[in-house]
Amino acid sequence: MNDFTSMQALTGVLLDESALSLDELARACQVEPDWVVRHVEAGLLGEDGSVQVTTLQFRSVDLDRARRLLSLERDFEANEDVAGLVIDLADEVRRLRARLHVLGVE
C-alpha cells in the first residue's frame, strides 16, 4: 500500500477565505495530485480564476466541482471533457432555476 492509499480523506466545511493546497485537495477527493493538475490544465477546475496558478490554491467551489467531476468520471466512466460539460450544464440549469424563482415564474 503506498502513502496515498493509506491517507484518510479530509472532511468538513471549507470556508471561501480558506485555501486548500494541491495535496489537500487531492486528499479531500481521494485522488492523486496528478488528477487535480490534469483537470486544472484542461480548464475543468479553477475556471473562474479561483486557482492561483503559481501556488495551486483551491477554494470551496473548486473542492465541490472536483468532487462532482470525480463522481461523474467514476460512476459513469465519463472522460474529463464529458464530465466537465455535464457539470457546466447542471450549473447553468441551477442558475436559471434560481432566476426563475426570484422572478416568481417557478
pLDDT in tens, 4-60: 444 455 455 545 567 899 999 999 999 999 999 999 999 999 856 556 556 788 999
Average the pLDDT over each of 25-29, 55-59, 70-74, 81-85 and give the range with the smallest value: 55-59
Domains recognised in the chain with CATH numbers: 18-103 (1.10.1660.10)
| Alpha helix ranges (H) inside 42-104 | 60-75, 80-103
pTM of the predicted protein model: 0.76
Q: Identify which of 88, 48, 86, 65 has the alpha carbon closest to the alpha carbon of residue 14.
A: 65
